[in-house]
A and B are shown apart, each in its own frame.
Chain A
């Protein structure tokens, strides 16, 4: 039992210590943004923001302290490096750092506060005609971002979460090849939510290599990716191959419903070290029923099979209510579950985020989980504070 609890604590710490990506604000549906492509280089959101996205950071994300008359524009606060560097039109770039401190409390660990540097990334996209080249590069202490590591020494991991080449075939269709986040579910910032970790579809470190096509037109959006595996993992037997995809429909300006599906096969699963087939199939919704409130929900069926055995069924889900008290200040409550053979784990999140200055936000989370074990549920409590700044 103690061994299991220790493993659980280590796993939770690991989730916290790995970097998290920035700028994936699915609650933007509250502002009428049902899709992400106008603000992000990745058409499904997350990661590098476009010039348009930078402007939105000033327009409706951060708290406005200044008078905004009819002549107001975002100005240099929205520009890269606050306008200190003029970028050519063919280049968009950004740098982001996220750090803070966390306290984890489980039955098997002594509560302690530890510092975290979650993110230190540079990102850029070069566009030549219809061709885009995108890449990110980061550096964190050795042991972090292992799945995305490209180089390391005794103290530092150099990692790249995303790097791809894309072609804007039309204004509605982009085809990409390289390493990128999987299209699945809602692209939420909470990368260690069970809906993300159990499907391996977070925007933190679950990116894979493959070929991806994204189509968005009118009220419809669809994305599918043929997964060739995480080529930064070796040997090749660890790599998952399969597909991941989603389709979404906007029912009006503040309601999006969608379905997602994923199937991967690995000769040697990185967690179980078995031949493993993973499937996830589910539904997601983003809505803003009243001004200021965004509801993000998703539920997924999990199908897992190892070494050709009969598949085991499970499920996971996440529902979050985000309320913007005034522009820039968000409070959110979320519930989640993860049903596996061992039992059903339950979790609750309370979060507050304040975008109080240009390109800067402060976030505090409290996460309580009842983690299923063979002997019942084991509680864990986590408090996480983080400061996020980007250029």
Chain B
């Protein structure tokens, strides 16, 4: 349906850095937003979200088929547009040196990180706005970035005359704790 829109979401990061690996804690909220004509909007979410890391970067992943919008047929169309079978995962990769964690004695930090968003097998730069808050154990995150599905080689979604704007946004809220 309409939307088929697509996408994704993923997000951000975590601290692992020199402090070792981190795990997700509690419920993560991964959402995306797309607009159509005359105020029409599609909002989707994913219940699946994972974090991994390389020596240089944090990698945040969402399975395309885990992204849903509340209407099954629209989800089906969305997954088809994104060619989920060929490109099952969207990822956001952020170099660790782009992230600023709450300093010792500080509760919060925030910044803009330059990352790479991969969707539909195509990498594009992503400017990720993030904020972190130190919890009793671990760090809670809020992060957001914009992307354009057309730039990732995805056909502009159109269903029965309703076209979805390929300029979309994603947001993530999650908490990370040090791995035991």
Is residue A35 contacting chain B, with contact meaning CB distance below 8 A?
yes
Given A31-B71, A32-B69, A32-B71, does the pair A55, B160 have CB atoms closer than 8 Å?
yes
Contact of B41 among A56, A70, A72, A253 (CB under 8 A): A253
Could you tell me the distance between the alpha carbons of A73 and B4 in the complex, rounded to whole angstroms? 13
* A218 CA to B36 CA, complexed, in Å: 8
A43 and B38 within 8 A (CB): yes
Q: Which residue of the partner chain, among B33, B39, B70, contacts A217 with CB atoms under 8 Å? A: B39
Q: Are A72 and B73 in contact (CB under 8 A)?
A: yes
B residues contacting the other copy or chain, number (CB 8 A):
23
Interface residues of A in 40-69 (CB under 8 A from B): 43, 50-52, 54-56, 59-60, 68
CA distance A34 to B76 in the complex (A): 21
Does any Cβ of B come within 8 Å of A220's Cβ?
A: yes
Interfacial chain B residues near A88, Cβ < 8 Å:
none
Residues on A with beta carbons closer than 8 Å to the beta carbon of B73: 59, 68, 72-74
Q: Count how many chain A residues have C-beta atoms less than 8 Å from C-beta atoms of the other chain.
A: 33
- Complexed CA–CA distance, A56 and B35 (Å): 18
Is A123 on the interface with B (CB-CB < 8 A)?
A: no
Q: Are A172 and B161 in contact (CB under 8 A)?
A: no
Q: Binding site of A, secondary structure by majority: helix, strand, loop or mixed? A: loop
User: In the complex the two chains form, what is the Cα distance from A167 to B70 in whole Å?
Assistant: 32
From A51, A172, A218, A221, contact of B160 by CB (8 A):
A51
Which of A51, A72, A172, A253 has a CB less than 8 Å from the CB of B37? A172
Contacts of B42 in A (CB 8 A): 32
**Which residue of A is nearest B33, CB measured?**
A253
Complex contact B159–A52 (CB within 8 A): yes
B122 within 8 A of A: no
- Out of B2, B43, B70, which one reaches A52, CB within 8 Å? B2
Is B160's CB under 8 angstroms from A52's CB? yes
Complex alpha-carbon distance, A52 and B38, angstroms: 14
Is the Cβ of B37 less than 8 Å from the Cβ of A32? no
Chain B residues with Cβ below 8 Å from A174 are 38
Q: Is the CB of B38 within 8 A of A171?
A: yes
CB-based contact B160/A216 at 8 Å: no
A211-227 interface code vs B (CB 8 A; 1 in, 0 out): 00010111111000000
Q: Which residues of B contact A250 (CB under 8 A)?
A: 39, 41
The 8 A-B residue pairs with the shortest CB-CB distance in the complex, in nearest-first order: A216-B39, A253-B43, A37-B38, A216-B38, A35-B39, A52-B160, A221-B39, A38-B40
Query: Would you give 11 A-B contacts (Cβ < 8 Å), ordered by A?
Result: A34-B39, A37-B39, A38-B37, A68-B73, A171-B38, A172-B39, A216-B37, A218-B39, A252-B43, A253-B43, A253-B70
Interface residues in chain A, defined as those with a beta carbon under 8 Å from any beta carbon in chain B: 31-32, 34-35, 37-38, 43, 50-52, 54-56, 59-60, 68, 70, 72-74, 171-172, 174, 214, 216-221, 250, 252-253
Given contacts A35-B41, A55-B159, 11 further A-B contacts (CB under 8 A): A31-B71, A32-B42, A34-B41, A50-B162, A55-B160, A56-B1, A59-B71, A59-B74, A217-B38, A219-B39, A221-B39
